[in-house]
Structure 1
Amino acid sequence: MTTKRRLPMIRIWAVWISALFLVALPTMAQASLDIMAVTPDTFEQGTTTTLTITGTGFVEGTTVDVSGIGTVADTFVDANTLTINLPVSITTGTYDITVNNPTPATATLNNAFTITAPAPTSAPTLEPLSISGSEPNQITNGRVNTLSVLGTGFTASTVARVVGFGVLETTVLHSGALNATIPETIPAGEYAIEVSDAAGRKATSPDKLLVVAPPLPTSEPPTLPTPVEVTTQPALSIVNFSASPNSITPGQSTRLTFVVQNRGNQVARAIAVSLASEGQFVVANGQASITIPDLLPGATFNASMTVTATQDIAGGPASIPLQLDYTDNTGNTYSNTGELSVTILATAYQSQLVIDAYTVEPSPAKPGDPLIVRMTLSNRGTAMAGQVTLSVTAEEALLLPDGRGDTFVVGDMAPGEQIAVQMPLVVSSSAEDGSQVQPLVIRYYQDGEAKEVNTGITVEIALVEQSEPLLLLTSYETDLDVLKPGSRFTLDINLQNVGTAMANATIVTFGTIQSSGGTGGDGATGDSQTSTTPSTTFAPLSTAGVHYIGDIAAEGSIDLSQDFIVAGNVTSGIYSLPITLQYDLPDGTNKQESINLSLVVIAPPRLRINPPNPLPEAVNMGEPVTVSLNIANMGQTTVDLEKATISTNNGEIMEGETVQLEPLKADDDTALNVTIMPMEEGPLDVEIAIDYLNGLGQLETIKLTYASEVMAPPPPPDEPQMPTEPEPEPEPEIDWFGRIVMALLGLGS
């Protein structure tokens, strides 16, 4: 029989008490659940989506409920901190927050935060709608043409119309320019150009549009093109859009209204428009995408979507990428992307440089031809933009520098300031015809930090049917920094053929060539005679100034040097040196062009300064020396003297260290006096610097140096010895008493 052993009662109680302690330990260690505050507790709708909850007793797995919303996404930071993300669609009002721990435990903070309605924004003031011009002024029907309209006040809703024909498909480039597509079906005739917008504003171009029919075909039968296979498929694109409001701040929403058009030749089905992921916008109100009904070829559909800018978006123009997904009749899928844009208002103190308007002359421009781009650059920011420059960029640029560089200095721009910029450029010989984009870079400094803005302009390139050479002077320099009357110098030039054909039998003449008889000019034939007139300012040396170069290939260049002498009688100024270029075109005709170099000549003043050396060969130490000069104007024009500055290496200038001078008329003179006290034995050098303005208003200096020797002063002469006079002998003392006694006695005197 097995006897059961009983545990002592004290051990049973000990085990039971230990178990109770272990079960109660976590509860005793954990602080009570409580909500102390929510930050921020008041904010405008759409300005923030993240809140921070502070309190006690938070643990991993804690959930947060917002009254009227339900459970929201939260992040456990520590036992005293939680963060929650509010949905973008949350409306205005006051909300309670409840925190639920898995223990379980619950804590609620009533009226935890309040969302207020955003402050109303005033409607932007529209710039007046106007048209300064339209181009081209003549087109040929039967093919699609592009119309460019320049003016002010263009918005996203602005469209162009050919009066008497209809509204055109319009692309607004910016507030000062738009492009419109003229279909090939437009009848021949003269039309007026008009623009209008959704605000009911209208403006008419001062330029008329002349549409002409294509020339009749020749009797020679045309060569038929090789038949190509026509692809049948839908093609969706966004042809117009507007944003309300069109200027927003980071975190603010805007409603996009746009038109989707099927430009293909097959019906588009299962169409969905969504916000592409690569932008800095998110959909608002949970609207992930919108569905559009099937579109027949050529059909359109008006759609809208509300998006919200992210908090970290940068100020300025911002692109909103929209993705178009659709299928065709057979189930093949297609995807296109269209970009809309709004302006993000800068909330920080910063510069914002934009191109307000621009024109290109001529337009359309031919490849290889020079053109001028005139634009208005504006600082729409709130900070000063320093050292602003505008550069033509791109590895294969459409526009090339004309020899003066591809960067144009604008200067400093204050907030709200507008500056007109003019850029002379040359169209690349490889430019393709049609509307082409030239990238530009605006560089500047804000508070010492370098910044840049990438932008661009659209240039219309004309269709060039025949290749021609075009010689341009791309650079030139002289071996002397300053040209003076009588100077001999060497001029180095670089010529470049920016055309599309070889320049044959090229001749460069330093001077002007005039033709008489024949036809003259381009394609000169017959009994023409030519005469060369050299420059009257710069005479060629060693040669007659005529150089035979030979053939210059397209995009090729040559370097050429010529020695000259400047005429001795010229005054200060900027002088032209004419250069005549003669070369043969591919069709055998001769072309002659004249170009002019600008060279600066500075004539020094004709001053006579006497005496040649106003210092004696030797002066005594410690004895003042006066230097006197007479300055006479021997020329025929006034010399603008400014001041004279005197310095010395061994002495003190007692009077006349700096002397203000007056303009010196022709045949007039002036005096200059200065007093110097030599200090030590040895060489004495005196330098006199005379400042004057040359003929171009530039400050120049004439330096004169005079030398002498400081000697010790001679010792003083000995004083002469005066003769010593002999001391007089003392007269004997007279005894008057004795004489009186003797006189009384009759004994003598």
Structure 2
Amino acid sequence: MHQISALHRTILIFFVFCILFIGGAGATGPAVIITDHSVTPAVLMPGEQGLIRVTLMNTATTAQKTDATILTAVQTVTSSESADVPLIVESVFLDGRGDISVLDGNAAFTGVIGPGQSIDLTFLIKAPEKEGVFFPRLRVRVKGGESTIYPIPVNVNMPISHIRIPDIQISQRDLPFVQPGETINTELTVENIGKSPAHDILISLGDGEAMIAPVGARASSSPILPSGSDLMMPLSFRVSREIEPGLYSLPITIRYHRVDGTLVQETASYSVDVRGSAALAISSVRTEPVTLTAGEQFNLVIRLENTGTGRATSVYADIDIPMRGSREAFIGTIRPGNDAPAVFRLTAGESGDIPYTLTVRYSDDYGDHESREDLIQVVQSKGFVLPIAAAILILIIIGASGYYLLKKKRTE
């Protein structure tokens, strides 16, 4: 009986150690990392003061804690739960290592950082009287977790430059004016304004506005574009006649390799100013009534059609015909493919073929325009109308009589 009790005690002790070991292994200890740092100013002069700013972050989120309850000598029941793991910071110390003097900021923070949270700390430092690059160390001690040592470079008047890289710039000689339906030839300037050559450079015109389509080659390449050099890329494109006037941008893709083999892809654009030009022409000339006699009032209707590719605005027409009445007409705007009437209310003067000039003034995207057209208006004399009417009436009577006699003769 005593031997069984001793065995039971041995098993109990074994399970207690196992449970303690498992429970301890299931917990995740807190840890701190430095996610960012900066030195202001970036380059200090000897003896100058500056600021070091660092960001501390708690990497832990939650931990799994395992508890055990012993029911018998050979059976246990375990339970687990999740709990937040706080980061207890016992000290934050910036060690200047005999070169950088830390004037303020040490021992400025001790406390708790929540799971996944971060905090910014700032240290006031003073550069040494000598030039060089120095590495003060930030030491962060965490309770129950891993402490961190983080070196921060401080540049004291040392000419250290960034890696030299190419810089490709796309430019256009000017902003071309393009009319709808027109094909234009131009070129791009591809320039390397960086400090090192660009290799395997490829410039391609992308798919932009559907009504502006490239003609011919869409890309230009060069095996190398040295620093300070440029190349010209010819460009040809066609503009649809149905496009609305306006400013359009065509996308350009730039691909090249740096000296270290890194592939770089950038985007640019080529701008096009689409401007339509108006062209006004006479589509018809008529009078109301159709036949005019001297002294009679009538309407002279001249229809103007826009045969161009842009809107004609501020359309104004006048005639220098030697008749009394309104000889000026304001029409307004005429869109491409449309027409509009210029109406003049006049009183016919002398009979005969009366010459006159129509002057049309209008504006479009290219400026103001003026066109002239020579016309003739026929005016009949009053005394000439009656004989003509009588002659027409006599002919009608003669024709009707002849038709009647012919029909009567056939019936006999």
Which of the two has greater helix per residue? 2
What TM-score do the two structures reach when normalised by structure 1? 0.27
User: Greater relative contact order: 1 or 2 (C-alpha under 8 angstroms, separation 6 or more)?
Assistant: 2
What TM-score do the two structures reach when normalised by structure 2? 0.46
